Chain A
Amino acid sequence: MGLHMPRGTLVVCLLIVGALALLPLLESRYLIDLATEIMVYALFALSLNVIIGFSGNVSFGHAAYFAIGGYVNAILLTTYGWPLWLSFPAAVVLSALAAAFVAYFCTRLTDIYFAMLTLAFSMLVWAIAFKWRSVTGGDDGFVGVAVPAFIDSRVPFFYFTLVIVTGSIALLWTICHSAFGQALVAVRENLTRAGFIGVNTRMMRGLAFVVAGTFAGVAGAIFAMYNRGVYTESAFWTESAQVLIMTLLGGMYSFFGPAIGAAVLYILERFANEYTQYWPTVLGVILLVIVLVLPEGLVGLARRLGARLVRRSGA
């Protein structure tokens, strides 16, 4: 696997981006909003998969970097009046730095200990957002984000999101399919053996964590502007659990799986909420199905079905 995307995948990606670019022509405010939200969550889930699918660790605290990106962008734009071209990169850089700080400690550990420490750090971020009321608004949330005029309406914001998310996913693809990404897969497959062949496993896992935190920060910074607000729940463990389920549902061993999982889960949630108040039950059933029937997610299922079709047509 090299840096070049397979032609089939590239064509599908271009078709999706092209279809999204034409979406505003339908003049449906609902579809534009839904697509914007799905794009943000798709990037969020893809970023988590760098840790899960590529480096083989589980993070229970990925929402922390989403929240940091959101809060920093919102505060710099609104409280300090920074322009977007400064606030947005600053939010992303701070998310990356926070991820680097956490990675320094977490990568000393593996397995469940790693996961629990990521959870502890994310709850620390939540507690800071909750208690630092003068800056973050506490549990009232940071409401009324000053979104720059050029993206202050629905369609321009949609295109802004499309450009940033597409660029971020392209970058993530490149990173995950570079030599660095290959080394991460080696670490995932066998930590000890990867260490013996000269891979600095702790550093690789740390870098994967930073990459994941950085792109979660990008998603969070967009979402804060989209919602015109950031809330403490963005950093809460339930948000981390939700993005984890998105990743597992789509398939963690596929680059695009988490994006598909994000889209499916988000749409399911929206529809479920319209007809029932028992979304948590639906979510629980989905999780059970993933664990018991779809360990490789929807992408794994599609691959299995595809292989079966090929076998049948061959016979």
Chain B
Amino acid sequence: MTSTTRITAAAAALLAGSIGAAQADIKIGVLYPTSGTGAVYGVPAMQGHDMAVDEINGGGGVGGEMLVTFARDTKLKPAAAAAAAKELITKDNVDVLVGGLSSAVGLAISEVARQEGVIYIATIPKTIQMTTTKLHKHVFRTSSHTDFEGDAMAQIVAQLGKTKLCDIQLDYAYGHDLAAGIEKGLKRHAPNVEKVIDLRSKLGATDYNAQITQILGTGCDVVTSGLWGSHFVNFAQQAQPFGLFDQVVYISGGEIASHEIAGRMGKDYPDNVWSNTYELWYDHTVPAHEKFQADLAARAGTKETAMWPVLAYIGVKFIAAAAEKAGSTDADELAAALEGMSIDTPVGPRTIDPETHQADTGQFWGPMVRKEGVDYRVMNPVTYIPAKID
């Protein structure tokens, strides 16, 4: 064989995907953002994913078959995520897709899964469409969704006996969906609450002064919000000098009770904030959580661990359980196995609804309070609000 022919053959083989693809038993295509702005969520999620895969493989795999991960960076862009998902299916021949972060990326991966007839387990995206209008037989979700989140927030509004509500959301899909979820929840749990104002901030906004003064001018006693990550950090820093958190109770979705935010803000975290998280590194209410957290801490090299790994971890556990139950990696058989499946997780048992393909993933909610000896806020008391809409 001439060197040119050899190079051509190698290139063709590479293109056809026959080089580099391990002889995997159960191939998992993983799609998290591991670069750019989404990396702060995607990188910890990958830690949780890898931890679950190592645990399962360390225990002999699934029926003797090993889990093998093929990861791609979604870059938090839906078209890139769709292209990566297709490549994972056609080049690496993955049996199942898992991951996603934003609503748009989740829906884009779900569409590829529908088209290619491959199972997709959405571990983080919350858009309600995924398990309602865009539901198909191969998509499943193990994270919560905006109707559950909004319902929990309305329950807290009712519990605290608040009457005048201001809502501030980011002006994009998650913000719109969460606002709708809160509206529906208020009708169920606090129909007498008066919604005084609806405010929308640009995604990525850093200046909230206009909205803060508007809220102060309305006389609201409660603010509901979905400002997540840096949005909340900026909002809180700007609102504190105005005394906003002395006048209102701030009830927020967007997991700002997670240690990622509490640890980052430290003493600057404001009073009167109630929020949610999927997991708290210091809460071992579920016995299995202690070992999970210890293993994660060892892997991450920090005592205080992030919240995102547990979501990816649970996604892998569902895949393994479904493959074991189905005794196959055929998409239809995996789908049948996943429908109605229950597993134990470090944050409690989870069951996937056979009709909606949505797991009953509730969240931990509570006020963020000071704690002796540490310079960050903790949730206390911690209340698990189940994913149930009455």
List chain A positions with a Cβ less than 8 A from chain B.
Answer: 26, 28-31, 33-34, 37, 130, 133, 138-141, 143-144, 227-229, 231, 233-234, 270, 273-274, 277-280
Whether B127 pairs with A140 at a CB distance below 8 angstroms is: yes
Provide the bound-state CA to CA distance between A144 and B72, in Å.
Answer: 23
Contacting B104 at CB < 8 Å: which of A28, A29, A140, A227? A140
Give chain B nearest CB distance to A26 CB in angstroms.
8
Most buried by B among A30, A34, A234: A30
Residues of chain A lying within 8 A (CB to CB) of residue B114: 144, 228
List chain B positions with a Cβ less than 8 A from chain A.
Answer: 15-17, 34-35, 39, 72-73, 75, 77-79, 82-84, 86-87, 89-91, 102-104, 107-108, 110-112, 114-115, 127, 129, 134, 172-173, 176, 203
Give chain A nearest CB distance to B33 CB in angstroms.
9
Residues of chain B lying within 8 A (CB to CB) of residue A231: 77-79, 104, 108
Whether B78 pairs with A229 at a CB distance below 8 angstroms is: yes
Provide the bound-state CA to CA distance between A278 and B73, in Å.
Answer: 10
**Given A143-B108, A231-B78, 11 further pairs, Cβ under 8 A:** A29-B89, A30-B16, A31-B15, A31-B16, A34-B15, A139-B102, A139-B103, A141-B107, A144-B134, A234-B79, A274-B87
Residues of chain A lying within 8 A (CB to CB) of residue B15: 28, 30-31, 34
Give chain B nearest CB distance to A256 CB in angstroms.
21
Supply 25 A–B pairs (Cβ within 8 Å), ascending by A: A28-B90, A30-B17, A30-B90, A33-B86, A33-B90, A37-B83, A133-B173, A138-B172, A139-B203, A140-B104, A140-B127, A143-B107, A143-B108, A143-B111, A143-B134, A144-B111, A227-B79, A227-B82, A227-B108, A229-B79, A231-B104, A273-B73, A273-B84, A277-B39, A280-B35
Residues of chain B lying within 8 A (CB to CB) of residue A280: 35
Most buried by A among B90, B127, B129: B90
Residues of chain B lying within 8 A (CB to CB) of residue A143: 107-108, 110-111, 134
Residues of chain B lying within 8 A (CB to CB) of residue A234: 79
Residues of chain B lying within 8 A (CB to CB) of residue A274: 72, 87
Whether B173 pairs with A140 at a CB distance below 8 angstroms is: yes
Given A33-B90, A273-B84: A140 in contact with B103 (beta carbons within 8 A): yes
Whether B87 pairs with A30 at a CB distance below 8 angstroms is: yes
Provide the bound-state CA to CA distance between A144 and B134, in Å.
Answer: 8
Give chain B nearest CB distance to A285 CB in angstroms.
16
Whether A233 pairs with B77 at a CB distance below 8 angstroms is: yes
Give chain A nearest CB distance to B74 CB in angstroms.
10
Whether A139 pairs with B104 at a CB distance below 8 angstroms is: yes
Whether B115 pairs with A228 at a CB distance below 8 angstroms is: yes
Whether A229 pairs with B108 at a CB distance below 8 angstroms is: yes
Residues of chain B lying within 8 A (CB to CB) of residue A30: 15-17, 87, 90-91
Q: A239 — nearest CB in chain B belongs to which residue?
A: B79
Given A37-B83, A140-B173: A228 in contact with B111 (beta carbons within 8 A): yes
